[in-house]
Every structure is written in C-alpha cells, then in structure tokens.
C-alpha cells in the first residue's frame, strides 16, 4: 500500500519547521514550566489579581502580530513600542514576566521564549484562581517588531457583531468569543471605559437602561469623583475564575457595555445562559479557547528569536 508507506515516511521525518507542541522544552529545559509556575504562585499569593493581568496581557499580545511577546518590548529612544498605544495603557504584570525570565535565564539561558512565558503564566494563574488547569503547547518564538501602529483592538462600546469581526479575523468564532470574554470574571476596569453608561447614555439624559439601577448608583459613587478609579468587572466573585460573570450579565450587572450586550444579543444569549447554568461546561470551553487564542499567528521553528530580556530585542550580531 503506497499511500500508507508514504504517510509513514512523512511521519518519521521530523519537520524542518516545528509546530507548537506540548512539553516543547522537555529536553532543552525540563524545569521550564515549573519555574514559571513557581514565580506565578508566589505572585498570586501576594496579589491574586495577577490572574487578570496575565489574561489580558495574553489577549493583547496574541491579537497584535500574533503571540510573539511584542507587547513586552519597551519603547526605544526614538522609536515607540506597542506598549504606548492607548489600549495598552493599563496592561500590567510586566515585572512578574521579568522575574520568570530571569529565573529561566539562570537555569537554561536563551531557551524559553517570552511568548511562551506569557502563555504559561496565564495558564498557571487561571488554575490558581480556581479555573481550568489545561495543557498548553509551547514552542513559540519571540517577534522582532513592536509598533504602536499595529495595535487595533476593539473598545468596550463595540457591538457584538462588531467585536466578532475582530475575532473572526484571528480565526476565533462567535461561541469562542463569548467564552473568552468570560475572562472578565476576574480583574478591574477603569471608570473611563464605561462611565458613559452611568449618565446621559447616548444622549438620552438617563443611565443605560440595560444596567441594573442599583449597580448604576454604586458605580456612580466610585466613578463620579474620579474617572480613573477602578471597579471589579465581576462584582460578585472578583478573584475567582468561575462562571459567575455570565450570571451577573443575566442580572443586568455587566460593567462593560459589550459584556452586557452578550446577554442581550440573540446571537449570543443562549451561549451565555448555557455557561451561567453550567460552570463545568464554561471551564472546559474556556480551556480550549485559550489554547486557540495562544496559537494565533505564532512564530515557530527558526522564525523570530528567543529574547534574553523580554523588554528588548536581542542585539543584532
Ligand atoms: C472585544 C473584546 C474585549 C474588549 C472590548 C475588552 C475590554 C476590556 C476593558 C475596557 C477592560 C478594562 C481595562 C482597564 O480598565 O484596565 C478589560 C479588562 C480585562 N480584560 Fe478585556 N476586553 C476584551 C476581550 C478580552 C479577552 C479576550 C480577554 C482574555 C481572554 C480579556 C481579559 C481581560 C481581563 C482579565 C481584564 C482585567 C484586567 C486587569 O485587572 O488588569 N478581555 N477588558
Ligand atoms: C496543574 O496541573 C499540573 C500537572 O498535573 C500540576 O503540576 C500543577 O500543580 C497544577 N496547577 C495547579 C494550580 O493546581
Ligand atoms: C522601531 O521601528 C521599526 C521599523 O519601523 C520596527 O520594526 C520596530 O519594531 C520598532 N519598535 C521598536 C520598539 O524598536
Ligand atoms: C452620580 O453622582 C453625581 C455626583 O455625586 C450625581 O450628581 C448624579 O446624580 C449621580 N448619578 C446617578 C445616576 O446616580
Ligand atoms: C483617581 O484614581 C486614580 C486610580 O486609583 C488615582 O491614581 C488618582 O490619584 C485619583 N485621583 C484623584 C484626584 O483622586
Ligand atoms: C433576533 O432578534 C431579532 C430582532 O430583535 C429578531 O427579528 C430575530 O427573529 C431574532 N432571532 C432569533 C434567532 O431569535
Ligand atoms: C505600560 C505602558 O507603557 N503604558 C503606556 C500606554 O500608553 C500611554 C500613552 O497612550 C503611555 O503613557 C503609557 O506609559
């Protein structure tokens, strides 16, 4: 059977360009995943909000030029990096990534990419917060470009169908988008991202009718004096990675307008109620969607580089 031996032949010859694979560092840096986990664990016990930081960092990294750690690059003297683009203003957790990188460089230098550190840190932080503990493939390489002009992320006032266009462009479908937005079960939002909902919504003279008036009053107390103040995205269980975000939006208690829309738009409402009533289903779907998010436009094989310092490109030789 020619067909059979041909496929066997392909199977035994290692590909020139490796793909992402589980346990990619098994022989080159066997401690890689446990080193990252230890750093994340230490940080989590000090500050459980680190889960939200890594989730958002991972999303912003992967949606701009793929998961290549372009978000970690600091601006050069005469050249700005992605970090200065306004949607990035409030991404955080950079120092923890530095810590993990330092520890990895001490153990196995120039081996583990910064892009994989973000991916693993997000995975570990989700598990620590009570979310799914999933296996995630590694082998990403770090990108060589970081440009604020590449940053094109949707804002919180976008419609469900508008947001979907961004996700579709990255190969993520509607249900996966609803699943990933479940990440808003942890973390904070600055008032300026949603304060338009608290009064004179779209020129109506009144707050957004799709927000519970009790929540409007509560948020207004925090936000009216200072639009830079922060509130939890999930008022119920803010450090816990659970499905309560979906229950909250069913109760008109979504903070961001897009989040609230997920419960109201009839293309997403049934997914929302499914997740609200079945936490296990949400966790399983979330794990799968994160693996997909983490594989967007990755550099593998000999593309890109393994940075020595996550904040700067390696010097050219
Ligand atoms: C259309 C899509 C999305 C929009 C418009 C959006 C918008 C926002 C906004 C406005 C904030 C508040 C930021 C701040 O005040 O610092 C936020 C926070 C956050 N977002 Fe999203 N987001 C989207 C998708 C995602 C996805 C896909 C994830 C992860 C899988 C994610 C994870 C987070 C987390 C965890 C936070 C809290 C961050 C923290 O506490 O530092 N978001 N998002
Ligand atoms: C996740 O599972 C791995 C492998 O079983 C384990 O080493 C790790 O400690 C788990 N993480 C958490 C936070 O429980
Ligand atoms: C600087 O500019 C070049 C070319 O425009 C770009 O490729 C590079 O990623 C930029 N960013 C930084 C931080 O150097
Ligand atoms: C929000 O707070 C401001 C200042 O305290 C107050 O004038 C306004 O009426 C409040 N709006 C709502 C909807 O609670
Ligand atoms: C507003 O809130 C931000 C974030 O908590 C804080 O840094 C700032 O000092 C506050 N400004 C005022 C005027 O209270
Ligand atoms: C969705 O909503 C629109 C307008 O509110 C309605 O015309 C349509 O039939 C609904 N579709 C489904 C599948 O429920
Ligand atoms: C972390 C970081 O570099 N944040 C930058 C985001 O963008 C604003 C300007 O829009 C900068 O002031 C921040 O320093």
What CATH number has the domain bearing residue 181?
1.10.420.10
- Tell me which of 89, 228, 230 to substitute to probe ligand 5's pocket, judged by most ligand atoms within 8 Å of the beta carbon: 228
| Residue 2 included in any domain | no
How remote is the CA of residue 66 from the centroid of ligand 3, in Å?
16
Ligand 3 near 81 CB (within 6 A): yes
| Same domain membership, residue 146 and residue 177 | no
Residue 40 belongs to domain spanning: 15-152
Looking at the DSSP bridge assignments, the partners of residue 142 are 305
What dihedral do alpha carbons 127, 133, 138, 141 form, nearest 10°? Answer: -20
| Residue 169 included in any domain | yes
Task: Give the domain CATH number at 96.
Answer: 1.10.520.10
Number of other CB atoms surrounding residue 22 within 10 Å: 11
Nearest CA to ligand 1 atom 13: 189
| Same domain membership, residue 183 and residue 106 | no
| Residue 310 included in any domain | no
How remote is the CA of residue 184 from the centroid of ligand 1, in Å?
6
| Same domain membership, residue 186 and residue 138 | no
| Same domain membership, residue 92 and residue 184 | no
In the listed set 152, 174, 206, which residue is the last one of a domain according to the structure? 152
| Same domain membership, residue 204 and residue 118 | no
| Residue 304 included in any domain | no
Measured CA to CA in angstroms, residue 93 lies from 11, 135, 189, 211, 223 at distances of 40, 22, 15, 31, 24
| Same domain membership, residue 133 and residue 171 | no
The Cα 241–Cα 246 span in angstroms is: 12
Closest by CA to 240, choosing from 186, 286, 179, is 186
| Same domain membership, residue 101 and residue 224 | no
| pLDDT score of 85 | 84
Q: Which ligand 2 atom is the nearest neighbour of the CA of 33? A: 7
pTM across the whole model: 0.92
Nearest CA to ligand 1 atom 30: 180
Ligand 7 near 277 CB (within 6 A): no
Residue 4 annotated in active site:
no
Ligand 2 near 135 CB (within 6 A): no
Q: Which tokens go with 192?
A: 């300026």
Nearest CA to ligand 2 atom 5: 133
| Same domain membership, residue 171 and residue 119 | no
**Count of domains for the chain:** 2
| Same domain membership, residue 101 and residue 169 | no
Looking at the DSSP bridge assignments, the partners of residue 141 are 299
Q: Which tokens go with 69?
A: 């750690």
Ligand 2 near 133 CB (within 6 A): yes
| pLDDT score of 12 | 46
| pLDDT score of 236 | 85
How remote is the CA of residue 25 from the centroid of ligand 7, in Å?
33
| pLDDT score of 179 | 98
Phi and psi angles of residue 27, each rounded to the nearest 5 degrees, phi first: -95, -30
How remote is the CA of residue 5 from the centroid of ligand 2, in Å?
39
| Same domain membership, residue 66 and residue 22 | yes
Task: Please give the average pLDDT of every successive group of 10 residues along the chain, which has 317 residues.
Answer: 43 53 97 98 98 97 96 93 80 97 97 98 98 98 95 95 98 98 97 97 97 98 97 92 98 98 98 98 98 97 97 90
């Amino acid at each position: 059977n020619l067909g059979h031996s041909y496929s066997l032949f392909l199977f035994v010859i290692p590909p020139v360009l490796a793909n992402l694979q589980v346990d990619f560092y098994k022989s080159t840096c066997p401690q890689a995943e446990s080193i990252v986990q230890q750093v994340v664990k230490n940080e989590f016990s000090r500050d459980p909000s680190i889960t939200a930081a890594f989730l958002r960092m991972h999303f912003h990294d992967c949606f701009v030029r793929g998961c290549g750690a372009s978000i970690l690059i600091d601006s050069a003297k005469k050249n700005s990096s992605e970090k200065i683009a306004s949607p990035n203003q409030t991404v955080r957790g950079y120092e923890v990534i530095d810590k993990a990188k330092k520890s990895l460089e001490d153990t196995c230098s120039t081996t583990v990419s910064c892009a994989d550190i973000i991916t693993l840190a997000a995975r570990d932080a989700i598990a620590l917060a009570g979310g799914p503990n999933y296996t995630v493939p590694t082998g990403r390489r770090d990108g060589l470009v970081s440009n604020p002009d590449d940053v094109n992320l949707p804002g919180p006032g976008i419609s469900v169908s508008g947001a979907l266009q961004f996700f579709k462009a990255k190969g993520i479908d509607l249900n996966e988008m609803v699943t990933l937005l479940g990440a808003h079960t942890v973390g904070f939002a600055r008032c300026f991202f949603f304060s338009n909902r608290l009064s004179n919504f779209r020129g109506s003279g009144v707050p957004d009718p799709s927000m519970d008036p009790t929540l409007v009053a509560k948020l207004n107390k925090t936000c009216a004096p200072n639009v830079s103040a922060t509130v939890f995205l999930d008022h119920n269980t803010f450090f816990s990675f659970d499905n309560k975000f979906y229950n909250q939006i069913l109760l008109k208690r979504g903070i961001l307008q897009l989040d609230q829309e997920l419960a109201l738009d009839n293309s997403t409402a049934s997914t929302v109620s499914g997740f609200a009533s079945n936490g296990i289903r949400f966790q399983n779907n979330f794990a799968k969607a994160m693996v997909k998010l983490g594989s967007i436009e990755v550099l593998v094989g000999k593309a890109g580089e393994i940075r020595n310092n996550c904040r700067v490109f390696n010097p050219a030789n």
